[in-house]
Amino acid sequence: MRAVAKEELIDSISDSQLYSIGAFFCDEHPELVEDVLEQSVEIERDGLARWAKKQKVDESVALQTLITGLSVRFYTALAGGA
């Protein structure tokens, strides 16, 4: 990929809501980043409903945790680490 095209792609992706959510979470809650990453991996492995039941939380909380974890991964992949 040409260097300019790669920079343009990263710039356009960096304007996404997923990137913004990840950046905000990492900036505002750095002490929780590892926990949310671990929990989101567990949700992917176990499934949303099963994880929510196991944790005794509503499925909407599980979904929010999953999306936050995905956002953090997306942000750190583009930004170069947490």
Task: For residue range 54-63, list pLDDT tens digits in order.
Answer: 999 999 999 9
- pLDDT confidence of residue 78: 86
Categorize the per-residue pLDDT at 82 as very low, low, confident or very high, splitting at 50, 70 and 90.
Answer: very low
On the question of pLDDT at 6 being above 70, the answer is no
- Residue 71 vs residues 3, 11, 37: alpha-carbon distances, Å: 25, 16, 10
Residues 26-43: tens digit of each pLDDT? 999 999 999 999 999 999
- Between vectors from CA 68 to CA 65 and to CA 69, what angle results, nearest 5°? 85
30, two tokens: 């750095």
CA torsion through residues 28, 29, 34, 40, sign = negative
- Domain assignment of residue 60, given as a range: 3-79
Number of domains, the chain: 1
